[in-house]
């Protein structure tokens, strides 16, 4: 089995420079579980030294890790960066994660453990009763918790967190499930459409931490609008039955 770890980055020079010490040992510790392990880094049109930091990480990776670098000429949004990274990944199992370690890389082995024979994807869940949050600004939690509550009502009540990027997928999920968002809605849309398409999802209760390096790129107002639009789309899908399961969200305005 091949493992791919996909990390989209936008102006994340400091966090990419920390990947060798933060992520490298975790992945090398999985060498007995996977035939090959690759890291796919996507530079989404960064204006700082992110690309140079990626190249340095690739050069220092050494034996045990394959590193694939890809780059957007201009910032295209998290959703497009995810599509680019997932398309470049060659793994049978794919992990997606932020570069900022707000979900700890040390949790990757435990996340993978939840991917049993009857599970197609696993999502990190700080809002699960056994999860938690550490020093994250309350205004971000208010939006994220509220959005997740609405998705629980619209899609599946036993999934507590819908907004995390930190996940593991079997390759058949990302190869067959569409998602149209260009922005921070993308991860939620992919999870919803995968469940609607019949794939089996599980949660991994974990802790969401505050950033240590860099700043968040999320635009709260824009992200809220995107989620509200998608939730309206889902409500229509449920009420009328006019849209088949797995139908992607209506494309957002540029930059959403």
Whole-number pLDDT of residue 206 = 96
Question: Is residue 246 situated within a structural domain?
Answer: no
Question: Is residue 105 situated within a structural domain?
Answer: yes
Whole-number pLDDT of residue 73 = 96
Question: Is residue 190 situated within a structural domain?
Answer: yes
Question: Is residue 223 situated within a structural domain?
Answer: yes
> Could you list the pLDDT tens digit for every one of the 256 residues in the chain?
999 999 999 999 999 999 999 999 999 999 999 999 999 999 999 999 999 999 999 998 877 899 999 999 999 999 999 999 999 999 999 999 999 989 999 999 999 999 999 999 999 999 999 999 998 877 667 778 889 999 999 999 999 999 999 999 999 999 999 999 998 899 999 999 999 999 999 999 999 997 565 455 555 677 888 888 899 988 887 777 654 444 444 434 333 3
Q: Global pTM?
A: 0.87
Task: Quick: pLDDT tens for 143-189.
Answer: 788 899 999 999 999 999 999 999 999 999 999 999 999 988 999 99
d(CA 174, CA 158): 22
Question: Is residue 185 situated within a structural domain?
Answer: yes
The domain that contains 15 carries what CATH number? Answer: 3.90.550.10
Question: Is residue 176 situated within a structural domain?
Answer: yes
Count of structural domains within the chain: 1
* Neighbouring residues of 32: CB distance < 8 A, sequence distance ≥ 6: none
Domain enclosing residue 130, as ranges? 2-240
Question: Is residue 249 situated within a structural domain?
Answer: no
Residue 229 C-beta-side C-alpha neighbours within 13 Å: 20
Residue 158 burial by Cβ neighbours in a 10 Å radius (0-12, 13-18, 19+): exposed
- DSSP string of 109-150? HHHHHT--TT-SEEEEETTSTT-EEES--HHHHHHHHHHHHH
Question: Is residue 247 situated within a structural domain?
Answer: no
Q: Distances from the Cα of 20 to the Cαs of 16, 39, 151, in angstroms?
A: 8, 11, 36
């Amino acid at each position: 089995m091949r493992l791919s770890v996909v990390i989209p980055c936008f102006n994340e020079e400091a966090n990419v420079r920390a990947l060798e010490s933060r992520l490298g040992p975790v992945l090398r510790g999985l060498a007995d579980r996977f035939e090959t392990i690759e890291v796919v880094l996507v530079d989404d049109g960064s204006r700082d030294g992110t690309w140079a930091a990626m190249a340095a990480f690739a050069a220092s990776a050494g034996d045990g890790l394959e590193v694939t670098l890809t780059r957007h000429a201009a910032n295209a949004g998290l959703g497009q960066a995810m599509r680019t990274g997932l398309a470049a990944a060659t793994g049978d199992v794919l992990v997606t994660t932020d570069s900022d370690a707000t979900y700890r890389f040390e949790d990757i082995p435990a996340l993978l453990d939840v991917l049993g024979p009857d599970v197609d994807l696993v999502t990190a869940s700080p809002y699960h009763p056994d999860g938690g949050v550490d020093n994250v600004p309350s205004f971000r939690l208010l939006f994220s918790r509220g959005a997740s509550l609405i998705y629980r009502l619209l899609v599946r009540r036993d999934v507590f967190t819908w907004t995390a990027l930190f996940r593991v997928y079997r390759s058949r999920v990302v190869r067959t499930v569409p998602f149209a968002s260009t922005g921070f809605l993308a991860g939620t849309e992919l999870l919803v459409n995968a469940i609607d398409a019949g794939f089996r999802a599980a949660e991994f209760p974990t802790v969401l931490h505050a950033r240590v390096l860099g700043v968040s790129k999320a635009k709260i107002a824009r992200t809220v609008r995107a989620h509200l639009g998608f939730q309206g789309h889902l409500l229509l899908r449920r009420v009328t039955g006019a849209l088949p399961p797995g139908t992607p969200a209506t494309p957002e305005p540029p930059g959403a």
